[in-house]
Amino acid sequence: MKKLQTQYLGLTLKNPLLVSSSGLTNSIEKLVKIQEQGAGAVVLKSLFQEQIIMEAEDALRHNAYPEALDYLNAHTQDHRTGQYTQLIREAKQRLDIPVVASLNCIDDNDWVAYAKEVEEAGADALELNIFIIPAKIHQTAAQIEEQYERIVKKVRQTTKLPLAVKVSYQFTNLLNVLERLKGAGASAAVLFNRFYEPDIDIFKMRTVSSEVFSSGADIRQSLRWMAIASSHFDAKTMQLSASTGVHDGTAFVKQLLAGATTVQVCSALYKQGVEVVRRILNFTEDWMDGKGFSTLDDFRGRMGYGNISNPAIYERTQFMRYFSSVE
């Protein structure tokens, strides 16, 4: 698959398909199977600071001494981070493809501490999984964006690992946020994060999780913004990785045409099995052969915002034009 070779986060990948952070990437056995199917790289399941805190608090509920919280929190954190860094070390020993660590923290200082540990464990790069819920009425959009920027700056000052930031599309001006993240030290952005979303069971009167997996239709949001963002950023200084809604080879090629440097898949593996990785890659090579493309650069970004005759088709204001006749 030499024709699919690409550069991402300073790493040479045999192809642009990454299996994204999930339960699919939390053990050596699963990672080896993913590599066997031909993935270009893996993003390990995120180390969640929030989960560590919840585990410590749960342990405290069974302890009669509230002052034990600090000890339990430190013990739980050491245990979890130890497991995670061991996974990185084993992955580097067993895999021939790049291993990207993933962190999801809720405190600025812990981002820094965890980043040091994953670098020392041997990770090839680091993906920061950031989403700050704007749940405080007096917190402004500018303050939230500054927090994103501050996190990236702190991590950048701490580690030499190439940094990708996995973000949401829920910004007033996404392009400006990406520009600021680049200035803070990010080498790539992943578009977009997929979050836990609550639902309500009206019969049992409790909150539950909504659908966990993406569908093929979910590509629409990431495809639009990939096409727009790729026309504003030079891949030499800010690369873009597509995520969410890629379930087959057609969707994979679409994201590359929109300008993605790499494409991450996850739900497709849960729904179709790890073999979908090979099918996507085979489809892409066959499609390239049919179009006469020898390398990814022959077509990457060809359907991006700045490379088509009517770029306004990617703009939200066009919605009314196409559906105004529907009653």
Q: Report domain extents, the chain.
A: 2-323
What pLDDT sits at residue 157?
94
Mean pLDDT (whole number) for 242-250 = 96
Mean pLDDT (whole number) for 297-306 = 94
Task: Give dist(CA 315, CA 318) in Å, integer.
Answer: 6
**pTM score:** 0.87
pLDDT band at residue 53 under the 50/70/90 scheme: very low
What pLDDT sits at residue 224?
94
Find out whether 182 and 238 touch, Cβ atoms under 8 Å.
Answer: yes
Contacts of residue 97, defined as CB under 8 A and 6 or more positions apart, other chains included, come to 13, 14, 35, 39, 40, 41, 42
Residue 97 CB burial class (10 angstroms; 0-12, 13-18, ≥19): buried
Residue type, 243: S
More confident residue, 278 or 221: 278
User: Does residue 63 sit in helix, strand or coil?
Assistant: coil
Sign, CA torsion 257/261/262/263: negative
Structure tokens at 93: 């020993």
Mean predicted lDDT score pLDDT of the chain: 86
Residue 218 half-sphere exposure toward CB, CA atoms < 13 A: 22
Task: Give dist(CA 234, CA 188) in Å, integer.
Answer: 11
pLDDT tens, 188-199?
999 998 776 788
Task: Give dist(CA 139, CA 270) in Å, integer.
Answer: 37
Q: At what angle do helices 69-94 and 28-36 cross, to 10 degrees?
A: 30
pLDDT band at residue 170 under the 50/70/90 scheme: confident
The answer to whether the peptide bond before residue 192 is cis (omega within 30 degrees of 0) is yes
Q: For the domain with range 2-323, which CATH number is right: 3.30.420.40, 1.10.3720.10, 3.40.50.970, 3.20.20.70?
A: 3.20.20.70
Structure tokens at 204: 């049992």
What pLDDT sits at residue 106?
66
Sign, CA torsion 22/98/112/147: negative
Residue in the block written with tokens 């022959």: 298
Beta pairing partners, 264: 18, 243
Find out whether 271 and 29 touch, Cβ atoms under 8 Å.
Answer: no
What pLDDT sits at residue 217?
81
More confident residue, 96 or 215: 96
What pLDDT sits at residue 80?
65
pLDDT band at residue 52 under the 50/70/90 scheme: very low
Task: Give dist(CA 268, CA 194) in Å, integer.
Answer: 14
pLDDT band at residue 180 under the 50/70/90 scheme: very high
More confident residue, 194 or 104: 104
Contacts of residue 265, defined as CB under 8 A and 6 or more positions apart, other chains included, come to 17, 18, 19, 20, 246, 247, 252, 276, 277, 280
User: b/e for 198-234, b at 16 or more Cβ within 10 A?
Assistant: eeeeeeeeeeeeeeeebeeebbeebbbbbbbbbbebe
pLDDT tens, 251-294?
999 999 999 999 999 999 999 999 999 999 999 999 999 999 99
CA angle at 20 for the pair 215 and 3, rounded to the nearest 5°: 95
